Chain A
């Protein structure tokens, strides 16, 4: 006969403030199989855990039920306590009377107490049928993958590489650097972004343990922690990077014209181009989507032979290349090159994009002089389209009055309800840089409220006021186009309660940070989850900020939520440290709560095979016929196969039929 110990937690007032804990404890004592029932203010404290351990050591209990919070955060703690006292840790069961009871029925004390009794009796019923299970271990591939080559990805890769692990850094653009490479200077120190980022990019490019896979995208991720198989697709460039010296001659020769994404579409680049002057690796690519197939020669065909000279007629890019690195005769392969990697752990740092101005009809997006803040960043950057001079796009004339509009698309139910966190600061930065350079420039900034929570940030903001930058509280309601490329700003000064209306030469919209379009694909291939705002969901907002619900997968940077550079770098290094743990241990545990086929009962019908979301089931010969077999390293214990098997041949350990039925019986008693 089993001896179940039931431990009911007060969780301070989290549970005890609603549920009558003593009544639940007394009720638990009456349940069949229960040897004793106790309660404690905090079961997870040392005292609470010691209570369980002592009862096990004294031989009073051999099954443990803790009625407390969520297994998500606390099951490992209590399992460890059972194990420390010599009990198999899978003889532990948790009853969630906080998240599923006291938190949701805060106003109904009697009802919540009754529900707690039900939840406890269900857990006890299951506990009486629990069987000991054993963990399994598998070896780990000591290799890391970082997806995304922005500042977050670069720092994750440098950390992992620095610890001695082979690290692949995958970036979809031809160069690493991400959005930070597009910035002019960075707040609150006004460091030149290129000056602090470029050396780090070079470090990553030269690191003996880091392999850059730029112009590439992750195609699939299979397997499990420690043993991922990752397929990376490298886009075809038509330029042999072993030969390319990054001289840029092909880019100059290319006659195609495409908006330059690095300069936010403010100028044009060729189809053959180098991503930006400080690119790492500094290699050219030919972007086939925009290649105009010069001289009527289709890509993948041999050049025509000139009747005059008898020599092949080459395309301008081929002709210009002094290194002979371009070969347009190669057949077009839209699939690119597929590389397969064996990976232990993965850091996802896919970053963000800023919203375009098009959605905001009220701010005259049709005017070339209404720009996004990232566009302004390119305009004031030395490597930008104007060489760092402030010139408005419509006529390349220096503006006299400049207006900043905050919270465009952020803190807005129509677009994104969250605060993008960096806009206040980067607008103040841009205003300060411009005021320093052009003291006669009139700068008006309109905020809903100024958010400067960070080290030295508020001082930076107060400094902007001292410099004579006008700061108004109140959101701009509209921008209208006027003749002569002027703009009328309709604003409101909240402090004086009066409307404001004035003419401005340039309007800068601080548009929201939002997740990259590619994030959806990354989520599909990795199994990562999104939060409501469409950023990747971390395991726990406070205690698991870099971990995710997929074991072996970690997140860093703006793909997890908007953040500034210091926070991104901190999180990137944190994610790298967490991702290195399994690599350092050399082996990972496989929880035994997975499914197993009893081949003698299996009819080989194969229903389970396509149902398995993890492709863990195959039909393998057993005796005279094929039977289902489950790969324990692939199985996640979801139970779909168990529920679907018409022969009842599949057992999900930890959720066996008798365990589930006993729970149902207890709940419906």
Chain B
């Protein structure tokens, strides 16, 4: 592993990027590790979550970490925020980092499908598994959500078109 060279400008840029994207508690971190102690993602084998992700950002390792998949393992259970003694709100930092990754299109290929599905149908993940059951009890196989509501789908598309997501050119 190459040694990290401490570059103050790089650290400043990394921290500011995360702060601007919503992870504004990052500077409070004292690296106690309580967040990682309760994180189901860390236990599942995603090591660069909360504590270690924050450390890497505070070291200025923003770009070096961009291909990290741990961040996508966050289940947003928010236990890290509950136990954090310093008000870091670690989950917000993880999400800020995800926004950074998304902005650079550094997300897994499997993430694109659900994004497109969300844009077109109003649901990121759709399933046919319940259709038969619904029909059995005399319901429309398609639930009465955005899936069968053209106006709602249009609204969702408008919202996404206005959001930073549109700039990624996924849709």
Q: Which of A81-89, A406-414, A573-581, A598-606 contacts B (4 or more CB under 8 A)?
A: A406-414
Contact partners of B31 in chain A: CB under 8 A: 494
Whole-angstrom distance between the alpha carbons of A492 and B32 in the complex? Answer: 9
**Residue from B37, B39, B86 within 8 A of A413 (CB atoms):** B86
**Residue from A407, A411, A478 within 8 A of B37 (CB atoms):** A478
Establish whether residues B37 and A476, one from each chain, have CB atoms under 8 Å apart when the complex forms: yes
Chain A residue with Cβ nearest B30 = A448
Establish whether residues A478 and B85, one from each chain, have CB atoms under 8 Å apart when the complex forms: no
A-B contact count (CB 8 A): 68
What mask results when residues 467 to 481 of chain A are scored 1 for a CB within 8 Å of chain B, else 0? Answer: 000000111111000
Establish whether residues B52 and A499, one from each chain, have CB atoms under 8 Å apart when the complex forms: no
**Residue among A490, A498, A500 having the largest count of chain B Cβ atoms under 10 Å:** A490
Contact partners of B35 in chain A: CB under 8 A: 477
What mask results when residues 451 to 492 of chain A are scored 1 for a CB within 8 Å of chain B, else 0? Answer: 000000000000000000000011111100000000000111
> In whole Å, how far is A343's beta carbon from the nearest beta carbon of chain B?
43
B113 interface hit (Cβ, 8 Å): no
B154 interface hit (Cβ, 8 Å): no
Establish whether residues B43 and A501, one from each chain, have CB atoms under 8 Å apart when the complex forms: yes
A497 interface hit (Cβ, 8 Å): yes
B87 interface hit (Cβ, 8 Å): yes
Establish whether residues B85 and A412, one from each chain, have CB atoms under 8 Å apart when the complex forms: yes
B36 interface hit (Cβ, 8 Å): yes
Contact partners of B79 in chain A: CB under 8 A: 477-478
Establish whether residues B51 and A411, one from each chain, have CB atoms under 8 Å apart when the complex forms: no
Establish whether residues B86 and A477, one from each chain, have CB atoms under 8 Å apart when the complex forms: no
Contact partners of A407 in chain B: CB under 8 A: 32, 85
Contact partners of A477 in chain B: CB under 8 A: 33-39, 79, 83
* Contact flag A478-B83 (CB < 8 Å), given A497-B52, A499-B39, A499-B42: yes
B22 interface hit (Cβ, 8 Å): no
Within 8 A of A (CB), among B40-61: 42-43, 47, 51-52
Contact partners of A191 in chain B: CB under 8 A: none
Whole-angstrom distance between the alpha carbons of A475 and B38 in the complex? Answer: 10
Establish whether residues B85 and A490, one from each chain, have CB atoms under 8 Å apart when the complex forms: no
Contact partners of B28 in chain A: CB under 8 A: 413
> In whole Å, how far is B151's beta carbon from the nearest beta carbon of chain A?
44
Chain B residue with Cβ nearest A413 = B87
> In whole Å, how far is B13's beta carbon from the nearest beta carbon of chain A?
23
Within 8 A of A (CB), among B61-93: 79, 82-83, 85-87
A362 interface hit (Cβ, 8 Å): yes
Chain A residue with Cβ nearest B34 = A475
**Residue from A362, A474, A478, A500 within 8 A of B32 (CB atoms):** A474
Contact partners of A362 in chain B: CB under 8 A: 38, 82-83
A interface list, Cβ under 8 A from B: 362, 407, 411-414, 448, 473-478, 490-492, 494, 497-501
B interface list, Cβ under 8 A from A: 28, 30-39, 42-43, 47, 51-52, 79, 82-83, 85-87
Contact sample, A vs B, 7 pairs, CB 8 Å cutoff? A475-B37, A477-B36, A477-B39, A492-B36, A494-B31, A494-B33, A497-B36
| Pairs of residues from A and B, 8 with the lowest C-beta to C-beta distance, nearest first | A477-B37, A477-B38, A474-B33, A412-B85, A492-B37, A475-B34, A475-B32, A492-B33
Contacts A413-B85, A478-B83 known; list 17 others, CB within 8 Å. A362-B83, A407-B32, A412-B86, A448-B32, A473-B33, A474-B33, A477-B34, A477-B37, A477-B39, A478-B37, A478-B79, A490-B37, A492-B51, A494-B31, A497-B47, A498-B47, A499-B42
